Structure 1
Amino acid sequence: MTEYVSTTPGLFPLPDWAKDDLSDLKGHQKHDLVSGDEGEEITAAYEDAREEVIGVQQDAGLDRVVEGQLRWDDMLAHPLAVHDAVETRGIVRYYDNNNFYREPVVGGDLGFSGDVASELEAASELTDGDLQAVLPGPYSLADLATDEHYGDEAEFLSAIADFLTGEVDAFPEHETLFLLEPSLVENAPEDGLDKRASEAIDRVASATDADVVVQPYWGALEEKVYAHLLDADVDAVGFDFVASREDNVYNLQEYGATDDVSLGLADGQNTLVEDPEAIRDRVDWVYEQIPVTDFETVYLTTNTETFYLPYGKFEEKLAVLAEAADLAEVKAA
């Protein structure tokens, strides 16, 4: 029988109190932040916020709990933005929306960092075997960065994959790993690079024994990109059914799917809160469109990160996902 798992791609909004407190603290510690030292007060605020968002997920009844990525001011670029071999420069628009990040410029070898692993270590102490790790996929991270060291597109992508592999290897025990790959949609790799992107994802996925989900979003993958992605040794590929229904259905119909699947059915950017029954009905709609419906695991998630939502709406979305997964389990039984 199919298992329905409620989860999120992470990158949560800060609790309102933390947003205010951290804004004040960062305003007083600009020099420390530039030097990479967040200071005890900022660190403590993030720790309290992490504990809160983990508690919110647990109270909602989500099957997988993420750390929240509340420190990721640079969004998916964060793992590079805090790396010693990387210089952050001007402000760059984050894909095609009104959020921005500091451009990470790689100027040296990307050795081990451990920044994300330390966040997950803290989260693992607050969870109970249901921890889900979140990382940018290697293609998206390379796409968001600027290379001034490796000098070759393929070599740079390979270096990013090696870097992420080393980071994953240091993670505490986790049930699932979500690799977020919006650049596969937003800036699709050309011939040749599409295969290398899949190989890079495969390399990162091999660093963990956890189930690995590759989650593209903001649309559907081009056919060749999707076909190559299926060659990677991952457990599930995700689909953004909020932004693109027909093209995602087409890929599933023409090329099939992995044994597991991740369905982005709740809108991670819209404040309208869906009914759990509506999400369950959308699962049925997807099943009606495709020939393969005997997935081992179906992840029910928002289509994008929820960073854009007001905190109260974010909390409501979590509860909807958890209830929708329960409804789907009952119907399947």
Structure 2
Amino acid sequence: MDRLATTIGLFPLPDGRRERLAKLKGHQKSDLIDGDEAAATRDVYAATRRQYVEQQREAGLDLLVEGQARWDDLLAHPLCVHDNVRTEGIVRYYDNNNNFYREPVVTGELTASGDVPGELATAAKRCDDLQAVVPGPYSLAGLARDEHYGSFAAFLDAVADFLAGEVAAFPDAVGTLTLLEPGFVADPPGADERERIGDAIDAVAAATDAEVLVHAYWGAPDDDLYRRLLDTGVDGLGYDLVTAPDDAVALAAEYGAPSRALLGVVDGQNTLVEAPETIDGRADRFAARAAGDVDAAYLAPNTGLFHLPVGAFEAKLDALAAATGGAR
């Protein structure tokens, strides 16, 4: 099983830039800022994106991400910047931790916006083999409030179509797409929703020729949902080996695993930096028990790294690369 070091994005802003951006734009959408402030905000994000790419390259990661410096609202970001979405007050992220975001309220048709493709196109100027990271349709729909479509089924389909439109416009440099679905664990779907969720994921995956992975974290999905995910057209699934290692490994052992596996082997929300031996041990245990032929394992943090201090973030990159024979 080949092992590659990567992340699932959502990086922390470098020291000093969070305060600089807060002064420039407050809590407004960046496209509502005029004149010099808009230019200054773009410059800060551009510098941060360049720094992210260089940090990953210097650490020796195998798959690089854009870093999502603009995603102040975490996974809700693609909706929060949409013209037909109204952002309201600060709410707790899945109501189970200390992460917060502005609530997106969908008030009209969710047509493709081009926001995420634009970020990736800029990053592609510095990296010709990118991993794109976006929220999966179920989690993105769950983080939003619908005032347009009228039912969760219709809303989920619309969010999937919106994401498919974004994905279809990704630059050619995107070779891997990871869909993040923490909602599978934090807000588990009902039995009557599983089939539609699988269809929604297929709709997004069909929009790209890139390799597609679906990663749930903060635990493991239930058995029935996991089996439905195995039946989708994605290339790989993710396993949180930090939060729920036994449950995640048990799913792969009992029902099998696809040829690609994204292994969350580093804690994305804890400053303790794992030793390479710890990372290898988690990956070894998964490989030993997973049924089926897993050709490639992407070693990554189990969650985004947004809330880590910059020093811990950089150390986590180094640890992942060291576990796979990276630059440092």
When normalised by structure 1's length, the TM-score is: 0.93
Please state whether the residue corresponding to 2:179 is helix, strand or coil: strand
Q: Which residue of 2 aligns with 1:35?
A: 32
Q: Which residue of 1 aligns with 2:184?
A: 184
Pair 1:123 & 2:94 matched: no
Contact kept? 2:11, 2:304, Cα under 8 Å? yes
Q: Which residue of 1 aligns with 2:161?
A: 162
Pair 1:314 & 2:313 matched: yes
Please state whether the residue corresponding to 1:23 is helix, strand or coil: helix
Displacement of 1:20 in angstroms is: 2.6
Please state whether the residue corresponding to 1:8 is helix, strand or coil: coil
Q: Percent identity?
A: 52
Task: Give a deviation string over 1:33-86, Cα, whole Å, max 9, x none.
Answer: 583657110111010011001110000011111110110011000000000010
Q: Which residue of 2 aligns with 1:330?
A: none
Task: Give a deviation string over 1:295-316, Cα, whole Å, max 9, x none.
Answer: 1111100000011110111011
Q: Which residue of 1 aligns with 2:220?
A: 220
Pair 1:44 & 2:43 matched: yes
Please state whether the residue corresponding to 1:156 is helix, strand or coil: helix
Query: One-letter code of the match for 1:218?
Result: W
Query: One-letter code of the match for 2:185?
Result: V
Q: Which is worse superposed, 218-227 or 35-44?
A: 35-44
Please state whether the residue corresponding to 1:11 is helix, strand or coil: coil
Query: One-letter code of the match for 2:147?
Result: E
Q: Which residue of 1 aligns with 2:171?
A: 172
Contact kept? 1:11, 1:70, Cα under 8 Å? yes
Pair 1:202 & 2:202 matched: yes
Structure 1 ranges of 4+ moved more than 6 A:
none
Displacement of 1:247 in angstroms is: 1.2
Displacement of 1:157 in angstroms is: 0.4
Q: Which residue of 2 aligns with 1:331?
A: none
Q: Which residue of 2 aligns with 1:73?
A: 72
Contact kept? 1:3, 1:297, Cα under 8 Å? yes
Displacement of 1:91 in angstroms is: 1.1
Count of matched residue positions in the alignment of Structure 1 and Structure 2: 322
**Structure 2 matches for 1:88-103, cutoff 5 A?**
88-95=87-94, 96-103=96-103
Give the RMSD, CA atoms, in angstroms. Answer: 1.5
* C-alpha separation in 1, matches of 2:30 and 2:50: 22
* C-alpha separation in 1, matches of 2:323 and 2:134: 25
Q: Which residue of 2 aligns with 1:83?
A: 82
Query: One-letter code of the match for 2:113?
Result: S
Query: One-letter code of the match for 2:216?
Result: P
Please state whether the residue corresponding to 1:71 is helix, strand or coil: coil
* C-alpha separation in 2, matches of 1:213 and 1:256: 15
Query: One-letter code of the match for 1:150?
Result: Y
**Structure 2 matches for 1:250-289, cutoff 5 A?**
250-289=250-289
Pair 1:133 & 2:120 matched: no
> For the structure 1 residues 76 and 248, does the alpha-carbon distance in structure 2 shift closer, same or farther, using more than 3 Å as the test?
same
Task: Give a deviation string over 1:177-212, Cα, whole Å, max 9, x none.
Answer: 010000011111101211111110111011111111
Displacement of 1:287 in angstroms is: 2.3
Pair 1:323 & 2:319 matched: no
* C-alpha separation in 1, matches of 2:131 and 2:283: 22
> For the structure 1 residues 10 and 76, does the alpha-carbon distance in structure 2 shift closer, same or farther, using more than 3 Å as the test?
same
* C-alpha separation in 1, matches of 2:103 and 2:33: 16
**Structure 2 matches for 1:300-311, cutoff 5 A?**
300-311=299-310
Q: Which residue of 1 aligns with 2:4?
A: 5
Please state whether the residue corresponding to 1:326 is helix, strand or coil: coil
Contact kept? 2:8, 2:178, Cα under 8 Å? yes
* C-alpha separation in 2, matches of 1:186 and 1:278: 26
Task: Give a deviation string over 1:268-304, Cα, whole Å, max 9, x none.
Answer: 0110001112211221122233343x31111100000
Displacement of 1:151 in angstroms is: 0.2
Query: One-letter code of the match for 2:234?
Result: V
Please state whether the residue corresponding to 1:65 is helix, strand or coil: coil
When normalised by structure 2's length, the TM-score is: 0.95
* C-alpha separation in 1, matches of 2:207 and 2:4: 23
Please state whether the residue corresponding to 2:17 is helix, strand or coil: helix
Contact kept? 1:188, 1:225, Cα under 8 Å? no
Q: Which residue of 2 aligns with 1:110?
A: 110
